[in-house]
């Protein structure tokens, strides 16, 4: 039985979700873009199932998780909500790749051939190919996951040859900054990577960039998917 949120609890999630969509719409309008061309990924990592249910009951269908064990528990518990689309957005350890390949619809954090190969080999045969985004370390931080921009096309070529993967685009988590111009610079660099990839692979359609603190700059630079957690669910637990 799905845990049911209280009425007041649901209103809070509902209001925050509505505000997030309004923020996307305003940013799209300010940049002469179609708001419907930008999807919202609700980042529910560390949040209880009740939060996901509250967002689901107000129309949200795409959810992002970063911690494998926690995510698998949620995916299993909510398996009866068959139209939820689950995205894995965290670093992938080799010993957890089978669980990611089995339980998710999308993986946004593929950054090396070893992981791509494992995900393809471990994807259940009765499931459609796993949608994959290549994570690019666009701000070139030593401690951050993501392939170097110069490695993007060779990794894309490898992924496109994997039978059980479908290359859909790129993702990045740039260095955190409140400088709007710096945010925009990073996002424009990733957008250029996306355009280069799309020119060679016609199925590529997803540019995942922008979070609670930099949605406007991401949409200005062409993001097609923003990943919002804090502004919907509050601070992480």
Structure tokens at 173: 């988590």
- Per DSSP, the residues of 99-122 read HHHHH-SEEEEE-SHHHHHHHHHH
Per-residue pLDDT tens over the stretch 51-76 = 999 999 999 999 999 999 999 999 99
CA count, 13 A, side-chain hemisphere, 164: 18
- Please give the backbone phi and psi of residue 226, each rounded to the nearest 5 degrees, phi first: -110, 145
Per-residue pLDDT tens over the stretch 204-235 = 999 999 999 999 999 999 999 999 999 999 87
**pLDDT band, residue 104 (cuts 50/70/90):** very high
Per-residue pLDDT tens over the stretch 149-173 = 999 999 999 999 999 999 999 999 9
The two beta strands, 106-110 and 39-43, are unpaired
**pLDDT band, residue 9 (cuts 50/70/90):** low
CA distance 3 to 68: 21
Please compute the mean of the pLDDT values over residues 17-33 and round it to a whole number.
Answer: 98
Given this model, what pLDDT does residue 144 score? 85
Phi-psi region of 69 (alpha: psi -120 to 50; beta: other; left: phi over 0): alpha
The closest of 133, 75, 143 to 109, measured between CA atoms, is 133
């Amino acid at each position: 039985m799905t845990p049911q949120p209280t009425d007041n609890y649901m209103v809070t999630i509902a209001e925050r979700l509505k505000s997030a969509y309004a923020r996307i719409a305003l940013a799209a309008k300010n940049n002469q873009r179609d708001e419907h061309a930008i999807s919202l990924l609700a980042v529910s990592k560390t949040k209880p199932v009740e939060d996901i249910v509250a967002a689901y009951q107000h129309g949200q269908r795409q959810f992002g998780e970063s911690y494998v064990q926690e995510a698998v528990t949620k995916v299993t518990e909510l398996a009866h909500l068959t139209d939820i689309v689950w995205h894995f957005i965290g670093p992938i350890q080799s010993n957890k790749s089978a669980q990611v390949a089995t339980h998710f619809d999308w993986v946004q954090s593929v950054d090396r051939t070893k992981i791509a190969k494992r995900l393809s080999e471990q994807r259940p045969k009765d499931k459609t190919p796993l949608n994959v985004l290549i994570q690019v370390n666009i701000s070139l931080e030593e401690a951050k996951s993501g392939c170097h921009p110069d490695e993007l096309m060779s990794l894309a070529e490898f992924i496109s040859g994997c039978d059980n993967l479908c290359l859909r685009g790129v993702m990045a988590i740039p260095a955190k900054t409140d400088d709007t111009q710096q945010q925009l610079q990073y996002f424009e660099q990733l957008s250029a990577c996306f355009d280069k990839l799309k020119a060679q692979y016609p199925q590529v359609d997803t540019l995942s960039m922008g979070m609670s603190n930099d949605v406007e700059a991401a949409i200005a630079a062409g993001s097609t998917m923003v990943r919002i957690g804090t502004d919907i669910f509050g601070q992480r637990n």
